[in-house]
Amino acid sequence: MKYESIIYDFDGVILDTVAKKINAFLDVYRTEDQSKINEVRAYAEANGGMSRYEKFKYFESVIFKRSLSATRLDQLCSDYRASVEIGVASARFIEGALNAITTLQGSVAQHVVSAAPEDELEVALIDRGIKGCFKSIAGAPKSKLSEFRRILREDGIEPQRVLAIGDSLAEYNAALELGIPFLAIVAVDVSDRFPSSVRKEPDLRSLISHVRGTENDLCY
Residue-wise pLDDT for 71-104, tens only, equals 999 999 999 999 998 888 899 999 999 999 999 9
Whether residue 159 sits in one domain with residue 80? no
Residue 174, domain member (yes or no):
yes
* Strand-pair partners of 201: 185
Q: How far apart are CA 95 and CA 206, in angstroms?
A: 10
Residue 52, domain member (yes or no):
yes
Determine the pLDDT at residue 216.
54
Of 51, 66, 89, the position where a domain reaches its end is 89
Q: How far apart are CA 93 and CA 129, in angstroms?
A: 12
Whether residue 100 sits in one domain with residue 201? yes
> What is the domain-level CATH number for residue 151?
3.40.50.1000
Residue 220, domain member (yes or no):
no
Question: Do 121 and 137 contact (CB within 8 A), yes or no?
Answer: yes
Whether residue 100 sits in one domain with residue 85? no
Whether residue 102 sits in one domain with residue 191? yes
Could you list the residue range(s) of the whole structural domain that residue 120 is in? 5-16+93-212
Which pTM was predicted? 0.90
**Distance (Å) of CA 111 to CA 130, 138, 216:** 12, 8, 23
| Alpha-helix runs per DSSP H in 29-132 | 34-46, 52-58, 70-89, 97-104, 118-127
Determine the pLDDT at residue 1.
85
* Strand-pair partners of 6: 110, 163
Nearest in space to 124 (alpha carbons), one of 93, 164, 80: 93
Residue 219, domain member (yes or no):
no
Q: How far apart are CA 192 and CA 201, in angstroms?
A: 11
Residue 54, domain member (yes or no):
yes
Other Cβ atoms closer than 10 A to 183: 27
Domain tally, the chain: 2
Model confidence pLDDT, tens digit, residues 14-58: 999 999 999 999 999 999 999 999 999 999 998 988 999 999 999
Whether residue 103 sits in one domain with residue 66? no
Of 44, 72, 89, the position where a domain reaches its end is 89
